Structure 1
Amino acid sequence: MNIFQAIEQRRAVKHYQTNKKMSEMDFKTLMDSVLLSPTSYNIQHWRFIRVTDVDQREKLKDAAWGQAQVSEAAELLVLCADVNAWKDRPERYVANSPKDTQDMLLPMIHNFYHEKEQTQRDEAMRSCGIAAQTMMLAAKGLGYDSCPMVGFDRDKVAELICLPDKHVIAMMIAIGHAEKAAYPRAGQLPLSEVLMENQFHPSNAE
């Protein structure tokens, strides 16, 4: 499947065939693709919890108000981010760069994030968003369906996965083979409504 087919065919599937699993080879291919997602300064804020325990799935399902895909899907991943990744041994993020590039980038990382909590959180969530899209498109390319999820009790999920301090939860993603097709697309805004050139026009800025 080419990338444009994957983009067009990816839908948020809510019900999955419980007897179809993802092979470990496919899972590795999926995650290897996800790890190629871009991040600012190559910080790689994302942390992924792969939920394989049946009881843990049921607890997470309760925290997600009973949504079936949490327990039915072949794979369930909780996408998290380390908000403080920018200062956690940042030399790792530029280790393969020339020395002069490292000497330039390391102070830049510090200056960009130091004492800027909103920027730190925004960047972590952006990184998870990019990784999530990569994950869903890679899954579709491998022949699987997926569903991004933000409908859950974040405090409860954080407790269940033992979320460390200074980490945030971006979303959960269920992956598997659809039992039921996704609903038709609910309503796409026209390109003319969402694309401006050079700046917002007065009618858009009101």
Structure 2
Amino acid sequence: MPATETIEPRRSVKHFDPAHQLSEEEIARLIALAKLAPSSFNMQNYRFVLVRDPELRKKIRAVAWDQSQVTDASLLIILCADLNAHLKNPQRYWAHAPQEVQDILVPALTPFYDGKPLLIRDEAMRSTGFAGMTLMLAARDMGYDSCPMIGFDAEAVSKLIRLPEGHALSFILAIGKQTKPVWPRGERLSDSEVVIRDRFTS
């Protein structure tokens, strides 16, 4: 399927068929594709929490504005990131590369992030954003719909999934079979507002 045929019909769906289930093969395929998303220094600092327990889903829904997609979607993924990925055996991220490439990138990785908590968190959000968009497009290509969500109590969800120290919660993604039409797509802002040529004018 051409990329445009995946991108253009993708919408944030709110109503899913609670009876539909994704196969283990479909879930594995989605994750395999998501892992192809880019990440700085190839750290792959994204983490995918697949919430399969119905009772846990109900608890998450209770702290997510009672949004039905939390319990009704075929698959609920909480995207998180390991904030210490740059410290964890960084040579493994480039073990596949020629030695001359390893000699440049491996020593540069840890110092690039060390002592820069804002950069580390920004990188966590970038990586999970890339991976999440990849998941949404992969799901659409497989005939499924999705809904990225930030409407939840992040602290409460972190406790429910036992998010480890040194990790950041990014957003929740619901994937499944749509049951109701979505609202018409909102008008896109004009290019004159969102496209800047070379630099902002003062």
SS in 1 for 2:22: coil
- Provide the rounded CA distance (Å) in 1 between the counterparts of 2:51 and 2:100: 42
Q: Which digits, 9 at most, give the CA deviation of each residue in 1:133-180, with x for residues without a partner? A: 000000000000000001100010000000000101100000001111
- Provide the rounded CA distance (Å) in 1 between the counterparts of 2:28 and 2:3: 19
Percent of pairs with identical residues: 44
Query: Which residue is equivalent to 2:75?
Result: 75
Q: How far 1:37 moved relative to its partner?
A: 0.5
Is 1:199 the counterpart of 2:199? The answer is yes
SS in 2 for 1:9: coil
SS in 1 for 2:165: coil
- Provide the rounded CA distance (Å) in 1 between the counterparts of 2:110 and 2:20: 46
When normalised by structure 1's length, the TM-score is 0.95
Q: How far 1:100 moved relative to its partner?
A: 2.0
Is 1:164 the counterpart of 2:159? The answer is no
SS in 2 for 1:47: strand
Amino acid at match of 1:63: V
Displaced runs of 4 or more, over 2 A = none
Amino acid at match of 2:70: V
User: How many residues in Structure 1 have an aligned counterpart in Structure 2?
Assistant: 202
Amino acid at match of 1:95: A
Query: Which residue is equivalent to 1:26?
Result: 26
Asked if the contact 1:2/1:141 (under 8 Å) is kept, the reply is: no
Comparing 160-169 with 1-10, greater Cα deviation is found at: 1-10
Query: Which residue is equivalent to 2:145?
Result: 145
Amino acid at match of 2:101: T
SS in 1 for 2:6: helix
SS in 2 for 1:148: strand
Is 1:35 the counterpart of 2:38? The answer is no
Query: Which residue is equivalent to 2:104?
Result: 104
When normalised by structure 2's length, the TM-score is 0.97
Query: Which residue is equivalent to 1:121?
Result: 121
Amino acid at match of 2:4: F
- Provide the rounded CA distance (Å) in 1 between the counterparts of 2:69 and 2:191: 31
Comparing 15-24 with 152-161, greater Cα deviation is found at: 15-24
What RMSD, in angstroms, separates the aligned Cα atoms of the two structures?
0.9
Asked if the contact 1:86/1:110 (under 8 Å) is kept, the reply is: yes
Query: Which residue is equivalent to 1:11?
Result: 11
- Provide the rounded CA distance (Å) in 2 between the counterparts of 1:191 and 1:75: 35
Query: Which residue is equivalent to 1:180?
Result: 180
